[in-house]
Structure 1
């Protein structure tokens, strides 16, 4: 195979790979935008402990029929995956940054409930972080930490 043919073959492969990655990214973005994306936590318990008698763990049970919930063994025999998503997609406006910062994204409640269910099943209580000493709010740094902490409550990360 000559050099020109190899170059053409490499470029064709790179183009196909880029198109596949772009398609996967588009599918993930659409799932995120229409609210159909599953939110998952891994719990270090057996599936029968996570959802006995096919009833969702607290606080997920507070959502009633608004949630679709699945339980399956985690890969590598490492506990159980508890997944939930809203049956009715969240409105696109609720996914905007201002809505999320204001706590108006309904998916934030689902994320919080999943984290709390994990904590209750593994530790027997909802584990909360200590308040940061700079979170008083009377300084510029304290206000920034307060805003970040408020956002982290619904998103799961600071």
Structure 2
């Protein structure tokens, strides 16, 4: 590869990386991030998702702080359960540093949606294996442990 071609390839990669970081760090332009709906697809009919008009326990704990919608999932593949915080969330609370520190209030909504899905489908909240299957004394185990601790409510690896 010639020097000019290598330089162009490196610059293109750096530009793509910078654009990806900018997109992650900045709030979306189409809507304030606190107004976004977060959703899960539950493998049961809509009548079972909100029995007696009440949401499942993990979502019910938020009280009036959440808006909740239920509708059939596309392709007759269960039910889509969606929630969002009423009144929105400030851009500071949803910034990249807040997400990494686990201080984004939407993380609790995501956790509640995952737990509600688990309760509706299995009757219990599924927990990861304890003790974990990775060993902290290995390099790979330390990396997995670090990533799991830093997940900040964003799911399980």
- Runs of 4+, deviation exceeding 2 Å: 30-34, 131-136, 138-147, 150-153
Are the equivalent residues in 2 in contact too, given 1:71–1:82 (CA < 8 A)? yes
Q: What are the superposed Cα offsets for residues 115-149 of structure 1, whole Å, 9 maximum, x if unpaired?
A: 0000011011111222434364x666544323321
Identify the residue that residue 76 of structure 1 maps to in structure 2: 75
Cα separation, partners in 2 of 1:106 and 1:31, compared to 1, 3 Å: farther
- Give the distance between the partners of 1:92 and 1:135, measured in 2 at CA: 38
RMSD: 2.4
- Give the distance between the partners of 2:31 and 2:156, measured in 1 at CA: 17
- Give the distance between the partners of 1:153 and 1:124, measured in 2 at CA: 25
* Runs of 5+ unmatched residues, structure 1: 1-24
Deviation at 1:156, TM superposition (A): 2.5
* Runs of 5+ unmatched residues, structure 2: 1-22
Q: Helix, strand or coil for the counterpart of 2:62?
A: helix
- TM-score, length of structure 2 as denominator length: 0.72
- TM-score, length of structure 1 as denominator length: 0.72
Instruction: Map residues 24-39 of structure 1 onto 2, 5 A cutoff.
Output: 29-30=28-29, 33-39=32-38
- Give the distance between the partners of 1:69 and 1:60, measured in 2 at CA: 9
Q: Helix, strand or coil for the counterpart of 1:84?
A: strand
Structure number having the greater helix percentage: 1
Identify the residue that residue 134 of structure 1 maps to in structure 2: 134
Q: Helix, strand or coil for the counterpart of 2:93?
A: helix
Deviation at 1:34, TM superposition (A): 3.3
Q: Helix, strand or coil for the counterpart of 1:125?
A: coil
- Give the distance between the partners of 1:146 and 1:33, measured in 2 at CA: 33
- Give the distance between the partners of 2:60 and 2:135, measured in 1 at CA: 32
Are the equivalent residues in 1 in contact too, given 2:33–2:89 (CA < 8 A)? yes
Are the equivalent residues in 2 in contact too, given 1:69–1:82 (CA < 8 A)? yes
